[in-house]
Structure 1
C-alpha cells in the first residue's frame, strides 16, 4: 500500500508557494502522493485564502521530483473538456508523468446553483460520464469529433486535436470519487483506474473490504486498479502501522491521510504550520 496526503486548497495564508512547500515537505518525509481538494470557495465565512488547485499543483510539480500529484477530487461538470485536456497534459509532462486525476460530480449549492452551474445532481453525473469519455479520446492526441448531449468538439470538416498526448500511457490515471455506500459512482469508477470512497464519519476496515468486494464484483479483476481509502492517523501513533496493514489486507492500495483544519487531534494554531508538521511526521 502507498501513502498520500489530501489537503484543502484554502486556508488562512495558503497560497501556491505554501502548496509547493507542503509538497516538497511531503516528498522528503516519504509520502507517495500529494493531493489537493478542488473547490471555488472555502468552507467558512470569508475572507479566507483560496488557491486554484491546478496552478498550485504546477508549483508543487516544480518543487518535487518523485511524489505523485493530483486533485481529490475535481468536479468535472463545471470544467470544459478541452481545457481540462490541456491542463492535465501540461502538468503530466511538466511533472514527468506523475499526475493522477481524481474526479467527481460535485456538491454544495454555492459551487453550482449559486454561481450559475448545473444544479441537478443526476444531470451532473451524465455530464461527468460524457466528459470522461471525451477526455479519454482527447488524451490520445488523435483527431476527435464529438457531438454529445452536453459537450461538443466538432465543426465543418474540423476535428479537435489536443497534441501532445500525456506522458503516461495509456492515459493519466483517473480515480473516481463517491459517497459510500452508493451505486452510480462505484459503477462509474469500475470503468476507470481507481476509486476514492468517502463517507460521513470514520472510515473503518470493514468499509474498505466492502468497497474492494464491490469493485471486484463490477470489474472481475482488480489488477492495476487503485482503491484509495480515506483516513486519519497520528505521525506519533505507534499503532498506525497496524491500522494501515489492516486496510491493505482488506484491499486498499492507497491510504489517503486527510490533513485539514477540522481534525481534533491536530494543534489549534497557525494552519500552515500545523499541516506542515503532520506532513513532516510522514506516513
Structure 2
C-alpha cells in the first residue's frame, strides 16, 4: 500500500524549527505517514535567504510527533563527515523511537553553491566515490562492532559507535538520483529505497517510475522490501481526482507519494497548512 508524506524545503517559510514542529504534528493528526525535509546549508549570495539546519528541524519534529516517519531528503553525504552523520542518525533514531529514514545523494553546486562557497571540490564523479564509501562507513558504524576501514576518501581505525540504532538491521537508506542516469540507481539498489529526480526538476511520470522500478529490479540482489518515491501536488479537495492522479504511480511500482506543498517559489503558509490539514489522497 502506498504511503503519503509532506515534502518541504528547509528555507524561506520553512526556516523556523518551531513552525516545522507544528506542521509535522498537524500532518500526523491529518493522517499523513511521513514528513520529509530538504537538506541545504546555503552558500552563494544569489540564493541567500533564511535557512534552518535540517537536523535540528527533524529533532524538533520528532519531539512533536509519535507516528510519522521523518527524513532528510536528501542529505548530500560528500559534504558531511560520515561518522558525525552516523552519530546524529543513531541519536535521532532513538529519540524518534525508530522513525528515521536517511535520504542521501551526491549533492549539487549548481544553485546554492554549497561546495564551492566553502572551498570544497564540486566534481560529481568525486562525490559519487565519496558517497559510496561513506555509505559503507555508515553501515559499518551502525553495526556496533569495531570498524577498521581503509578507503580512498575515508579511513577508520578501531572505531566503535554505541548504541546501535533502534532500527535493525539498520536505519533505512534511500538514495537519490537523476533519471535516466544509471549509476545512481545501481547504487540505490544496494540499499533500501530510491528518490528519483527528473531532469529540469519536473515530476517523474508514471512511465518513468515504471522504468526506475525495472532498473532497480535488474540491479537488486536482495528480496527485502524496497521503496520507490514519487512526488507531485494533489488538490486535497477532489478525492476521486487525487486518486486518479496517484493510482498510475502505484501501478508503476511507487511505494511513497511526496506531496510538494512548498517546493516552488510560492510558500504561502496559510495555503500550505490548509493542504496539510486536508490530509493525504488515501483510498
Which has the higher mean CA deviation after the structures are superposed, 39-48 or 62-71? 39-48
How large is the RMSD of aligned CA atoms in angstroms?
1.8
Does residue 1:249 correspond to 2:251, yes or no?
yes
Shift of 1:50: 0.5
Aligned counterpart, 1:277: 274
How far apart are 1:220 and its partner, in Å? 5.9
Further displaced range: 236-245 or 62-71: 236-245
**CA–CA distance in 1 between the matches of 2:214 and 2:221?**
10
Unaligned runs of at least 5 residues, structure 1? none
CA deviation map 1:128-179 (0-9, x unaligned): 000000110000111111121111211xxxx111100100000000000011
Contact 1:197–1:230 under 8 Å retained in 2: no
Deviation at 1:223, TM superposition (A): 4.4
Shift of 1:256: 1.2
Flag structure 2 segments of 5+ consecutive residues without an equivalent: none
Match of 2:192 in 1: 193
Aligned to 2:125: 122
Q: 1:80 matched to which residue of 2?
A: 81
Q: Distance in 2 between matches of 1:202 and 1:145?
A: 41
Q: 1:123 to 1:273 in 2, by over 3 A?
A: same
Q: Distance in 1 between matches of 2:90 and 2:20?
A: 20
Q: Following TM superposition, by how much is the alpha carbon of 1:250 offset from its aligned partner in structure 2, in angstroms?
A: 1.1
Matched, 1:231 2:252: no
* DSSP-derived class of the 2:129 partner: helix
TM-score by structure 2 length? 0.92
Counting matched residue pairs gives 274
Q: Any residues of structure 2 matched to 1:93-172 within 5 Å, and which?
A: 93-109=94-110, 110-154=113-157, 159-172=158-171
SS of the residue corresponding to residue 256 of structure 1 reads: strand
CA shift at 1:280, angstroms?
Answer: 1.2
Tell me whether 1:212 sits opposite 2:213 in the alignment. yes
CA contact (8 A) 1:42 1:48 kept: no
Give 1:47 deviation, angstroms: 5.3
2:181 corresponds to: 182
In the TM superposition, residue 43 of structure 1 has moved relative to its aligned partner by 9.1
Q: Does 1:38 align with 2:35?
A: no
Aligned partners of 2:160 and 2:9: how far apart in 1? 33
Q: Is the 8 A contact 1:198 1:230 kept in 2?
A: no
Query: 1:259 & 1:125 partners in 2: Cα distance?
Result: 30
| Deviation beyond 4 Å, 4+ runs, structure 1 | 42-47, 220-223
Q: Distance in 1 between matches of 2:179 and 2:122?
A: 22
